[in-house]
Amino acid sequence: MRTDARMVPGIVAEARQLVGAARQAFAGEPRPRALLADCARRLDQPLRVALAGALKSGKSTLLNSLIGQDIAPTDATECTRVVTWYRHGSTPSVTAYAPDGAKANVVVRRGGGTHGLTFDLDRLTWDTPEPREVDHLEVEWPAAALANTTIIDTPGTSSLSREVSQRTARLLTPADAGTDDSVENIAIPGADAVVYLLRRLDDADIRFLEQIGAAAASGDSGVSGPLGVVGVVSRADEIGAGRIDALHSARDVAVRFAGELERTGLCQAVIPVAGLLAFAAATLRQQEFTAFEALAGIPIEELSAALLSADRFARPDIALPVPPELRAQLAERFGMFGIRMAVTLIRLGVRDSATLAAELTSRSGVDELRSVLDVQFGQRADQLKAHSALTVLVRILTAYPGTAADELLPRVRTLLADVHGFAELRLLGRLRTDELTLPADDLAELHRLIGGSGVAPHLRLGRPLDTPAPELRAHAIESVRKWRVLAKHPLADQSMSTACLTAARSAEGILDLLNT
């Protein structure tokens, strides 16, 4: 039986050892030596997660909501046309980099009212005599959410400028985005995982997701890309025209998208998120809470008439117990859905700003997204980073045959061929949208066993943290037997049988880990 690469202790350590051996073998080859040095550094860095999607899909707003701080410009400025890396740093700084590595400090301006940050790229002072074109930006910020994850904000995939769209393609599938198939075209994918924002599921989205999926699945074929992809139905509050049930409508859309994407294996999950509401809730001000309290005190019919549109809500001739300027700010920060939700929650009994912020955050969908990202990306960070490094290592070894590094290739291919981690991620996505014909307790056990609540053995087996190893082994053995029997049940269809075999394989991986 093959051992699940994710279950093997020290997958990053093994990848680091293989990369190190290859670096020694290619000590005299400048190009592979530089690529392998990048691979080695990558294994020691935080997981890289890219936000991708069409123009105006809400990537920067979602980034701000995930971080809980206003650090990404959301207005349509020049900085939204380049790739921007958000890393953890002790002090805030923004640096522009040219293609040749030259750099310049970027002036950060904070707009008035609700306009947030702007990165001024018009007056850059480069560290070289000649002016340069900006290749990418790097933002360092002391945010806890960036300590273990680097987030990459990318230009829109459907930009009117082909060059702008290609910047995202080169980051996520660097070899596939080019036209040169030579050895010199080998490149490391910039991200280990992708959050892809969807407002519709059109042909452009499908093509780009297929490009990412093909890259991730073909380490020997000349391309290499991120392993995990999670879809987000972004700006979900707008799907229901800002109505109080907008997120329910968005969830129905997410289920439909997930069903279509599941058939092609392009996404592991699809989550509806109202990013604007999530960020506004994270930064809720007392003045705003007081305004919502005042609005909650007027008759429902009167407020409903005022909330027909954002423009109407902010009109000075509409008599409401909140100044027009503040109403305009509420509309810009929370949207119509957020205002309706906040007023409804206060009418239902919310009495302070902290409780309102927590309730709005919960209803925005961002907590669910954070949970999915933790289970599918954060807790699988080692596997994702190792996959990025090993796919590039395969390309180098096959492009430069005839060295001592040739003997490394079988082991690298074995690690990449072990796709049980992929099977778990796909099944987790299916369980979100497609109920298997299993009793509720068995469905819950299946979800735990394949890592839906975390990847540690005790979490997979549903046991306490201090459970002795012999007891965990006994539970794992019982799980292997149970799920293999269910897989062979005469009434189990192909989908059910595959799911049960995946669970059995996960239990076998736990046994392997406990026996090491």
List the one residue out of 294, 332, 291 whose CA is nearest residue 311: 332
In this structure, what are the phi and psi dihedrals at residue 131, rounded to the nearest 5 degrees? -65, 155
The residues of the chain scoring below 50 in pLDDT are: 1-9, 177-181, 218-224
- Residues in CB range of 48: below 8 A, 6 or more apart: 149, 150, 152, 190, 191, 192, 193, 388
**Can you tell me the distance from the alpha carbon of 148 to that of 46, in angstroms, rounded to the nearest whole number?**
5
Residue 4: predicted pLDDT: 42
What pLDDT digit, counting tens, does each position of 36-91 carry?
998 899 898 999 999 998 888 889 899 999 998 888 887 656 667 889 999 999 99
Tabulate helix, strand, coil % of the chain (nearest 5): 55, 10, 35
CB of 111 within 8 A of CB of 88?
no
- Residues in CB range of 82: below 8 A, 6 or more apart: 134, 135, 136, 137, 155, 167
Pairs from 396-403 (Cβ < 8 Å, separation ≥ 24): 396/22, 396/26, 396/32, 396/35, 396/36, 396/186, 397/22, 398/220, 399/32, 399/183, 399/186, 400/26, 400/29, 400/32, 400/183, 403/25, 403/26
- Residues in CB range of 323: below 8 A, 6 or more apart: none
CB of 84 within 8 A of CB of 153?
yes
Strands 93-97 and 83-88: unpaired
230 DSSP 8-state letter:
E
Helix (H) or strand (E) holding 232: strand 228-233
* Cα separation values, 174 from 136, 153, 186, 269, Å: 15, 16, 8, 24
Pairs from 492-498 (Cβ < 8 Å, separation ≥ 24): 495/436, 496/436, 496/437, 496/438
**Can you tell me the distance from the alpha carbon of 478 to that of 457, in angstroms, rounded to the nearest whole number?**
14
Max CA pair span of the chain: 81
Strands 193-198 and 228-233: parallel
Strands 93-97 and 136-141: antiparallel
CB atoms within 10 A of CB 104: 20
**Can you tell me the distance from the alpha carbon of 212 to that of 228, in angstroms, rounded to the nearest whole number?**
9
- Residues in CB range of 412: below 8 A, 6 or more apart: 18, 390, 393, 394, 397
Residue 320: predicted pLDDT: 94
**Can you tell me the distance from the alpha carbon of 278 to that of 264, in angstroms, rounded to the nearest whole number?**
30
CA dihedral in degrees (303, 306, 308, 310; nearest 10)?
A: -120
Residue entry with tokens 């912020």: 357
| Tokens representing residue 107 in the block | 């002036």
| Tokens representing residue 305 in the block | 């008439």
| Tokens representing residue 183 in the block | 């050895």
**Distance between start and end Cα atoms, the chain:** 15
Residue 257: predicted pLDDT: 80
Residue 501: predicted pLDDT: 94
CA 121 to chain centre: 27
Q: What percent of the chain has pLDDT over 70?
A: 85
Cα Rg, the chain, nearest whole Å: 25
List the one residue out of 458, 457, 461 whose CA is nearest residue 447: 461
